[in-house]
């Protein structure tokens, strides 16, 4: 997601009069969940996530036919990160019916994320890959290390600017969000933000 889109989302969260609620995420049974916001999760049900930025890691597990035989396919761990507020999102995975389609998915996974209205939701996508021996992986440590990089779908937004800590109000959180994204923005984006604030002020 581009910085301006994230910045706009932060502004919308600040100006909104609604109380922070949740994102509900549903997914097909072939999606085998592994990670949710840097924590191990094997949930098979819909997820309830905090508003703001979230990250999940999963494998696509399905069967396909090859030379008349049923074959089991399990993908690498795929990471996606996305932002939202008070919405219902659904992940859709493509059907894989041949070895060629499996190979294509492995190279470039085609995943869709949509809201209730069927509108596509913007997200970033990456892979959590470990070379060599794969048994008994420490996925939590792997994804934490991954999130310290600028790789696609890395989760770099501090959780504290989304969830109020003890003693904090939503106004405090909103101020933290504003400070965080203002510092991350370039001069052009800062100017756009100031212009929007001034326009809202004069209405």
Residue 11 lies in a domain: no
Region of 31 please: left (phi>0), alpha (psi -120 to 50) or beta: beta
Give per-residue pLDDT as tens, 126-169: 999 887 666 788 999 999 999 999 999 998 754 433 444 445 45
Mean pLDDT of 98-113: 94
Please give the residue range of the domain that contains residue 122. Answer: 20-165
What gap in Å lies between CA 4 and CA 186, rounded to an integer?
10
Residue 199 lies in a domain: no
Residue 10 lies in a domain: no
Residue 97 lies in a domain: yes
pLDDT confidence of residue 189: 75
| Residue 131: how many other CB atoms lie within 10 Å | 5
Residue 203 lies in a domain: no
Mean pLDDT of 61-86: 93
Residues 113/80, Cβ–Cβ less than 8 Å:
yes
Question: Given pLDDT bands bounded at 50, 70 and 90, which one contains residue 25?
Answer: very high
Mean pLDDT of 93-101: 94
pLDDT confidence of residue 66: 86
Tokens of 201: 């002020």
pLDDT at residue 172 greater than cutoff 80: no
Residue 179 lies in a domain: no
Identify the CA nearest to 48 among candidates 39, 38, 58, 36.
Answer: 36
Residue 50 lies in a domain: yes
Residue 95 lies in a domain: yes
Question: Given pLDDT bands bounded at 50, 70 and 90, which one contains residue 20?
Answer: very low
pLDDT confidence of residue 154: 94
SS (H, E, C) 4-37: HHHHHHHHHHHHCCCCCCEEEEECCCCEEEEEEC
What gap in Å lies between CA 186 and CA 3, rounded to an integer?
9
Structural domain count of the chain: 1
Average pLDDT, the chain: 81
């Amino acid at each position: 997601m581009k910085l301006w889109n994230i910045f706009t989302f932060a502004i919308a969260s600040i100006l909104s009069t609604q109380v922070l609620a949740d994102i509900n995420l549903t997914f097909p049974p072939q999606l085998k969940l592994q990670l949710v916001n840097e924590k191990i999760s094997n949930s098979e049900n819909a997820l309830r996530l905090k508003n703001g930025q979230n990250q999940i890691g999963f494998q696509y597990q399905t069967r396909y036919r090859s030379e008349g035989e049923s074959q089991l396919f399990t993908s690498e761990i795929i990471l996606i990160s996305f932002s939202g507020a008070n919405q219902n999102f659904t992940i859709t995975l493509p059907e894989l019916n041949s070895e060629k389609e499996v190979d294509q998915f492995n190279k470039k996974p085609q995943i869709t994320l949509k809201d209730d209205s069927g509108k596509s939701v913007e997200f970033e996508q990456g892979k959590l890959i470990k070379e060599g021996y794969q048994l008994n992986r420490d996925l939590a440590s792997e994804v934490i290390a991954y999130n310290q990089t600028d790789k696609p779908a890395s989760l770099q937004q501090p959780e504290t600017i989304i969830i109020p800590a003890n003693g904090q109000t939503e106004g405090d959180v909103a101020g933290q969000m504003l400070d965080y994204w203002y510092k991350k923005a370039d001069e052009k984006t800062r100017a756009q933000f100031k212009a929007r604030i001034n326009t809202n002020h004069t209405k």
